[in-house]
Structure 1
Amino acid sequence: MGKSTQTGNHKSDRKKHIARTWKTKHRTKDLDQIHSDMTTEAAAKLLHQAVDSDVTGCAQHYCLHCARYFVDLRSMKEHFKTKVHKRRLKKLREEPYTQAEADRAAGMGSYIAPKKVEVKTQTVEEDMN
């Protein structure tokens, strides 16, 4: 006879989760991309976008640190209080990995510890319309 092809019920769950992680449908920006967005010029462009009806909330309510759009100001303020947002802020405190750091790790220089970057939740300007 031979061994049954099904050897456990939990292995199929693992395959589903792995497949989900590789899909790009819910892919967000990487931390180094967000760090480049946090520069003054890029942040000003992202926070003051023109009205776009194809984007959630007409692109008027954007969380710079999480790279997410929100429907209205209230939901964005609630997002600022969540664990997801606070974890992202904590991850963004560390300086992004650079080519110079990669060279030092390969033996072409001495080790320098990554610097800490001060990251605070963005200020919200309420429109009085």
Structure 2
Amino acid sequence: MGRVRRSRTHKGIRDQYKKQRTRNYTKDLDQIHKDLKELDEQMVPNQELDPDLPGFGKYPCVACARYFISQKALDEHNRGKLHKKRIKLLKEVPYTQAEAEAAVGYSTEHSRIKVMEDVNC
């Protein structure tokens, strides 16, 4: 029976682990929701060309926060599994800070007063 995994995975080397982790970083869903909202407000068809981006930034996928070198590459990406999964995740409305605090049990002063009035009645 042979070896099941590779012999060197760099798990014990902290620098290699951090390098891989930051390289694979993508934007979070709430950041992309914010970008989509700003994009709807602006809708600028003539964007400036950025030489640092692939394809000079002409072919963006806002949902995945990626740029592509050509329209063909963008179309191929749009047919892919990762893009479809990201679109499905973006259909959900992100939680707000107020919803998170309500779930934990925190509340604002106004709601505390309202609850106390209900208890006293």
TM-score, normalised with respect to structure 1: 0.63
Aligned residue among 66, 90, 97 for 1:92: 90
Alignment of 1:60-99 (within 5 A): 60-99=58-97
Evaluate the alpha carbon distance shift between residue 53 and residue 14 of structure 1 in structure 2; reply closer, same or farther with a 3 A threshold.
Answer: closer
Contact kept, 8 Å, 1:48 with 1:60, in 2: the verdict is no
Distance 1:102 1:11 in 2: 44
Q: 5+ residue gaps in structure 2?
A: 108-121
Alignment of 1:1-129 (within 5 A): 13=9, 15=11, 19=17, 23-39=21-37, 40-41=40-41, 44-45=43-44, 48-108=46-106
Evaluate the alpha carbon distance shift between residue 51 and residue 88 of structure 1 in structure 2; reply closer, same or farther with a 3 A threshold.
Answer: same
Evaluate the alpha carbon distance shift between residue 98 and residue 71 of structure 1 in structure 2; reply closer, same or farther with a 3 A threshold.
Answer: same
The structure where helix makes up a greater share of residues is 2
Evaluate the alpha carbon distance shift between residue 90 and residue 25 of structure 1 in structure 2; reply closer, same or farther with a 3 A threshold.
Answer: same
Alpha-carbon distance, 1:10 to partner: 7.3
What does the per-residue CA deviation read over 1:61-118, in whole Å, with 9 as the maximum and x for residues that have no partner? 0001000000000110111100000000111111112211111111146xxxxxxxxx
Query: How big is the alpha-carbon RMSD for the aligned residues of Structure 1 and Structure 2?
Result: 2.8
The percentage of counterpart residues that share the same residue type is: 41
Distance 1:93 1:24 in 2: 26
Q: Residue 117 of structure 2 corresponds to which residue in structure 1?
A: none
TM-score, normalised with respect to structure 2: 0.67
For the pair shown, which has the larger CA radius of gyration, 1 or 2? 2
